[in-house]
Structure formats: C-alpha cells, structure tokens
Amino acid sequence: MADDGLRPETLAAHATGVVDGATGAIIPPIHPSTTFERDADLGYSRGRCYSRADNPTYDSAADTLTALEGGAQTLLFASGMAAANAVFLALSPGDHVLVPKVMYWALRAWLHGFATRWGLVVEGVDTTDLGAVRAALRPGRTKLIWVESPANPLWQVSDIAVLADLAHAAGAKLAVDSTIATPVLTRPLALGADIVMHSATKYLNGHSDVIAGTLTTATRDEFWGRIKANQIQGGAVPGPFEAWLLQRGLRTLFPRVRWQSASALDLAERLSAHPAVTEVLYPGLPAFSGHDLARRQMVGGFGGMLSIRVGGGEVAAIAVAAKTQVWKRATSLGGVESLIEHRASMEGPDSPVPADLLRLSVGLEAVQDLYADLDRALSANAGV
C-alpha cells in the first residue's frame, strides 16, 4: 500500500498494508526459516540469503517504522541495548562522543565501562543546556551527540533541532533515543537528527512480551553502512516471532500512546496537589522546566511516563510502591499494564536519580483506578 498522503495512524494500523500475495492474508506471515535456497547459478534472485541479514518477517515492522519516522531505512535489533551499541561501535577508537548525564542507566554503564575501555572518549553533558553542549563540542573530533528526550527517569526535554545544528556544524551526527516520545509524539529526523533509536520492547511493541530495538536513519550513508554491518556481523537481530509481534504491536501504537499520554497528564495534575507528593516530574505540567520546549517539540501529548518524589524520602517511597495493587512493581515501561518502580535502588549507588523518586509507567487501565490506588498508598504511608 503506497502511502499517497495517508496519515501515520493509517499506515501504522495497516502495517504498511502489504497483503500476502500467495494467500491474500491481511496479516503478514511469520517466516521461521533460517536460510533460503540459492538458484542453480548460485545467485539469490528472490532476494534472500540468510535470516541473520534479511528474514522477510522483518520487513513489515521495519517498513512501518521507516514510514512513521520519515526515514530512509530501519534496522531491527535483538534489544534496545543492541541497537544503541551498534551506533557507538560504528565509531572509531579515539572518537569523542557527548551523552546525557541523566539517561537510561544500562547504556550509561556500558558507555562508561566497555566503550571507554574500547577507546571512545565519552563525555557526559546536560543536553538541555545548549551552552554546555557548545562548550563540550570538539570540532573535528566529536563524532556523535547522543540525546534522550524525554530523558529517563527525570523526563528532561532536549532541543533536537538546535542540537542537530550544533552537531552538524562540528562535523558530528545526532542520534536520538526517542523511546518515550515514539513517532506518535516526536519525529526526530524531521527536526534534523541523523538517527532515531527505540527500545522497541517498550511502546512500539506495547505488550511486555518482546525484547527488541530499532534504528531508523535519515540517509543511507557510509556511517549507516557500518551500523548495518554491526547488526549483521554481530548477530544482534530478533527472531522471526519477535519481529512479527513487534509489527503486531505497531498496529495499535497511536491509540495506545494517546490514551497513555492523556492518563499521564491527568495523573500528573492530580498528584501535583497530593499532600504526600513533594514534586511531580512530567513535561506536560506548565511548572516543569522543559514544558515550553515540550509543547513545541511533542505533538499531541507529552508521553505516558512521569515520576513523583515522595515526602519522607527513600524509605517512604519504597513503602508507597509496596502498598500499590493496580500498579505492579516491575522494571520496564510502555506496556498496557501500569508499572511503578523505585529507580535509585534499581540503578545502584552511582545513580543520579533522587532516592525519594518513583517512576510511573501509565498503562491502559481506567485513570480513576490508577489514581485511587496511588492515593491509597500515598495516604496510608503518610498518614494523610
């Protein structure tokens, strides 16, 4: 199905609209085969060789995301970490990279552990402070700015368009982890970014039953070729069933994210007035430091993630999480079920996350039930 000006909601719902030519099935088939037959002359006229490089089950999810992001090509990976690693490993030892000071903790640990030992010069910077980014850039040596917006779990919003200009002026590329915003709310490539990354485990799949990651590029250049080689040669690809589940999840991406964003804003507003909560971190609140930028950069909502800081400190925050019933105490986000987590204890002693913070991933439950559950837990703990 050619897009012919179709809206992204339609493209997602139809998974690009490819109907199986052999059967007429409107749902793409799963191809579990690991290998494909060669022609008598040893060629591959049917375009497939080996599943690590080009299993046809990948096509629907990859093509759908390429269309939604407005990119040139999408690659699927076995996890969000595998996708992110492929970008950094496409650089060379000695290259300087700028990354956020507050970011997904596992990638931060990998960068400051493995990547620095491998030879990258990794520098943390507040990517919401454009002056700090300008000062940290090393023209000719800085090869990548990596930004996460909104940034997990404090939800700071970085100015993607300006960061893209700064990166390009210094001879670097800009890669954006847009896991939280999704293409429903933000399209980083349209703002000037070179690469957009998703932990597809989260909102893109949306059902907490797939581990996957994606990268979408604005142009298929030499750097992208190195990333693709990392994917194929490193073997960091999902299985056919995971790829099929990912395209299944993409079909409902728009209604899910919009519902979750509306519920998150409702909860943020209510919790801001709760006597047991000292602060609510959510880009949709006018008092949030990045709200004006979020209004310009995020279209149609502010995402389904928020964090609250609980009066009484770390002990009180952990106690609140222990008392919830509708909210489940678990790592991850973006699924249909609402999750609550004490991030500082999850991330360990080097975490920059305040000890009194609880991260909330809003699901598809009735928002009244979600608030009532939190209110009971907060009030019982604080004696309100």
Active site residues: 52, 104, 177, 202
The torsion angles phi and psi of 345, rounded to 5 degrees, stand at: -70, -30
For 32-60, give the DSSP string. Answer: --SB-PPPTTS--TTS--BHHHH-TTHHH
Q: Which residues on adjacent β-strands are paired with residue 328?
A: 339
Tell me the three state secondary structure of residue 176: strand
Q: Are 294 and 157 in contact (CB under 8 A)?
A: yes
Amino acid residing at 226: R
Tell which residue, 146, 159, 46, has the closest CA to residue 102: 146
Question: In b/e form, how buried is each residue of 143-159, taking b as 16+ CB within 10 angstroms?
Answer: bbbbbbbbbbbbbbbbb
Tell me the three state secondary structure of residue 13: helix
The torsion angles phi and psi of 73, rounded to 5 degrees, stand at: -165, 150
Residue located via tokens 């932990």: 199
Q: Which residues on adjacent β-strands are paired with residue 277?
A: 310
Task: Report the C-alpha dihedral over residues 106, 329, 285, 276, rounded to 10 degrees.
Answer: -120
Tell me the three state secondary structure of residue 107: helix
Amino acid residing at 183: P
Residues 6+ apart with CB under 8 A from 366: none
Element (H, E) at 174: strand 173-177
CA 184 from centre of chain: 12
Tell which residue, 214, 222, 232, has the closest CA to residue 55: 232
Q: Are 113 and 122 in contact (CB under 8 A)?
A: no
Tell which residue, 170, 360, 176, 205, has the closest CA to residue 267: 360
Residues 6+ apart with CB under 8 A from 140: 170, 171
Report the distance separating Cα 71 and Cα 188, nearest Å.
Answer: 10
